[in-house]
Amino acid sequence: MKYLIVGLGNPGAEYEDTRHNIGFKVVDAIAQSRGASFAPARLGDVSTFRFKARTFVLLKPSTYMNLSGKAVRYWMDAEKIPVENVFVITDDLALPFGTLRIRGKGSDGGHNGLKDIQSVLNTTQYPRLRFGIGDAFHRGAQVDYVLGKWTAEERNALPERLERCVESTWSFATAGLGRTMNAFNNT
């Protein structure tokens, strides 16, 4: 069994600790939990390891958020991973900070990274984990908020939230999507 775990974000130091890059932060935490590291590869940074008799391919696309689909499709094809074994991790403005929402399908919710993945894969049916970043911004300031740094309070809460995301990833690969949604949604 192979799984492609995709953390959405933007490459580059200027985006490193921003809300929009929570997907990168989650896959970094997953790799760290297994003592794995990332290496530059085609269309992104990749880490591959085995855990509980499964192969995990972690991907941080280098295509920038709005073109994430190209990297996802390439690694699905290269590793022969079916869409049901892909787990896309992204930020979500509609959820309060730190809230997790796991689904097996759905709309892009206005998220350009998900929009591109759905366009390239030609389906809305792929598992995803949305990490709530809240919506504490004034009208017209959404881009600044999303690309802004975490507050001190959020930064203090992140380690526990990241651990919860790591646990949900293991659950997805070992217990299945349904059980994972029941155990982790809105926690």
124, 101 contact by CB (below 8 A):
no
- Model confidence at 48, pLDDT cuts 50, 70, 90, reads very high
Other residues' Cβ atoms within 10 Å of the Cβ of residue 33: 15
Order of all β-strands in the sheet with 128-132 = 39-41, 44-51, 54-61, 2-7, 86-92, 128-132, 100-103
Active site residues per annotation: 20
Given this model, what pLDDT does residue 80 score? 98
Task: Write the single-letter amino acid at 28.
Answer: D
162, 29 contact by CB (below 8 A):
yes
Render pLDDT for 7-30 as a digit per residue (tens, 0 to 9): 999 999 999 999 999 999 999 999
- Inform me whether the pLDDT recorded for 187 exceeds 80: no
Given this model, what pLDDT does residue 53 score? 95
Cα 148 to Cα 142: distance, rounded to the nearest angstrom: 10
- Region 128-152: mean pLDDT is 90
- Region 112-133: mean pLDDT is 97
Given this model, what pLDDT does residue 140 score? 80
Residue 80: which domain range?
2-184
The tokens 């787990």 sit on which residue? Answer: 87
Q: What is the CATH number of the domain that holds 6?
A: 3.40.50.1470
Render pLDDT for 55-80 as a digit per residue (tens, 0 to 9): 999 999 999 999 999 999 999 999 99
Given this model, what pLDDT does residue 91 score? 96
Q: What is the pTM of this model?
A: 0.96
- Model confidence at 139, pLDDT cuts 50, 70, 90, reads confident
53, 2 contact by CB (below 8 A):
no
* Number of structural domains found in the chain: 1
Render pLDDT for 77-99 as a digit per residue (tens, 0 to 9): 999 999 999 999 999 999 999 99
